Chains A and B, each alone.
Chain A
Amino acid sequence: MLLVLSEEHKEHLGFLTQVDSAVVGEFGRIAVEFLRKGTNPKIYEGAARKLNVSSDVIQHGVEGLTYLLTEGSKLMISEIDFQDSVLVLGFSEELNKLLLQLYLDNRKEIRNILGELAPKLPSYHSLEWRLDVQLASRSLRQQIKPAVTIKLHLDQNGDQTTKILQTDPATLLHLIQQLEQALGEMKTNHCRRIVRNIK
Chain B
Amino acid sequence: MRFRFCGNLDCPDWVLAEISTLAKISSVKLKLICGQVLKDLQGEGIDYEKILKLTSDARFESGDVKATIAVLSFILSSAAKHSVDSDSLSSELQQLGLPKEHATGLCRSYEEKQSPLQDSLRTHSLRLNHLDSVSWRVDQTLSSSELQQVNEPLVHLKFTVRDGDRGVMEPFAMSMSAEKFRVLLAELRQAHAMMKTLS
What is the bound-complex CA distance between A129 and B126, given in angstroms?
6
Q: Which of B125, B165, B198 contacts A130 (CB 8 A)?
A: B125
Whether A136 and B126, one on each chain, are in contact in the complex, defined by CB atoms closer than 8 angstroms, is no
Task: Check if B194 is an interface residue, CB within 8 A of chain A.
Answer: yes
CA distance A138 to B188 in the complex (A): 9
Chain B residues whose CB sits within 8 angstroms of the CB of A164 once the complex forms: 128
Shortest distance between the CB of B80 and any CB in chain A (Å): 17
Asked if B187 lies at the interface with its beta carbon under 8 angstroms from chain A, I say yes
B197 to chain A, nearest CB (A): 10
Whether B187 contacts A135 by the Cβ 8 Å rule is: no
* B165–A136 CB distance below 8 A: no
B165 touching A162 by the CB < 8 A rule? yes
CA distance A130 to B194 in the complex (A): 21
Q: Is the CB of B165 within 8 A of A128?
A: no
- A sample of 9 inter-chain contacts (CB < 8 A) reads A129-B126, A130-B125, A130-B126, A135-B194, A141-B194, A149-B126, A151-B126, A162-B165, A164-B128
Bound-complex Cα distance A135 to B197 (A): 12
Q: In the bound complex, what is the Cα–Cα distance between A83 and B100 (angstroms)?
A: 67
Q: How far is the CA of A100 from the CA of B120 in the complex (A)?
A: 60
Q: For residue A149, give the distance in angstroms from its CB to the closest CB of chain B.
A: 6
Distance A136 CA – B196 CA, assembled complex (angstroms): 13
Q: Scan B97-112; emit 1 where CB is below 8 A from any A CB, else 0.
A: 0000000000000000
Asked whether, in the complex, the Cβ of B187 is within 8 Å of the Cβ of A138, the reply is: yes
B128 touches A136 (CB 8 A): no
From residue 120 to 141 of chain A, which have CB atoms closer than 8 A to chain B?
128-130, 135-136, 138, 141
For A136, list chain B residues within 8 Å (CB). 191, 194
B198: contacting residue among A129, A135, A149, A162, CB under 8 A: A135
CA distance A70 to B126 in the complex (A): 47
Q: Identify which of residues 31-89 in chain A touch chain B, using a CB-to-CB cut-off of 8 Å.
A: none
- Residues on B with C-beta less than 8 A from A162 are 165
Q: How far is the CB of A156 from chain B (nearest CB, A)?
A: 16
- Find A128's partner among B126, B187, B191, B194 (CB 8 Å cutoff): B126
Instruction: Specify the chain B residue showing the minimal Cβ separation from A164.
Output: B128
Residue of B nearest to A138 (CB): B187
- Complex: A130 Cα to B127 Cα, angstroms: 8
CA distance A141 to B194 in the complex (A): 10
* Distance in angstroms between the alpha carbons of A93 and B194 in the assembled complex: 89
CB distance from A108 to the nearest CB of B (A): 24
Q: Which of A143-170 contact B (CB under 8 A)?
A: 149, 151, 162, 164
CB-CB under 8 A from B125, the residues of chain A are: 128, 130
Q: Chain A residues with Cβ under 8 A from B165's Cβ?
A: 162
Q: How many Å from the CB of B183 to the closest CB on chain A?
A: 10
Q: Among residues 111 to 145 in chain B, which have CB atoms less than 8 Å away from a CB atom of chain A?
A: 125-126, 128
A130 cross-chain contacts in B, Cβ below 8 A: 125-126
CA distance A14 to B120 in the complex (A): 68
> A149 vs B129: C-alpha distance in the bound complex, in angstroms?
13
Q: Mark B179-199, 1 if CB is under 8 A from A, else 0.
A: 000000001000100100010
Give min CB distance, B23 to chain A, whole Å: 31
- B13 to A: closest C-beta gap in Å: 17
| A-side contacts of B191, CB under 8 Å | 136, 138
